[in-house]
Amino acid sequence: MKASELRAKDVAALEKEVNELLKAHFNLRMQKGTQQLSNTAALGDARRDIARAKTILAQKKKESQQ
C-alpha cells in the first residue's frame, strides 16, 4: 500500500487499516510456521505496510493535537 493512499484516509480509517494489517501479518506468520507460506517476502512487505500505516497515523494524531 502506498503512503499517498494512507494519507488520504482519516484517523479512524487508519486505525482500522492497522488492525487489518496486523491480522494479515499474524496469518502470514502462522502459514510460515505450518510450512504453507510459499512467498516468504510477503512477511517483510506486511511488516513495512504496518510501519508505514502506524507512522502516518501518528503524524495525523500529532497534527490533530496542535
The range of the structural domain enclosing residue 38 comes to 3-61
C-alpha radius of gyration, the chain, whole number:
14
The residue written with cell numbers 504453507 in the block is: 36
How far is C-alpha 14 from the geometric centre of its chain's CA atoms?
A: 9
Max CA distance (Å), the chain: 48
The model's pLDDT over 17-59, given as tens digits with 9 standing for 90+, comes to 999 999 999 999 999 999 999 999 999 999 999 999 999 999 9
In the chain, the number of structural domains is: 1
Whether 53 and 18 have beta carbons less than 8 Å apart is answered as yes
CATH of the domain at 29: 1.10.287
Compute the average pLDDT of residues 57-64.
Answer: 94
Q: Is 53 a domain residue?
A: yes
Q: Grid coordinates standing for 55?
A: 507512522
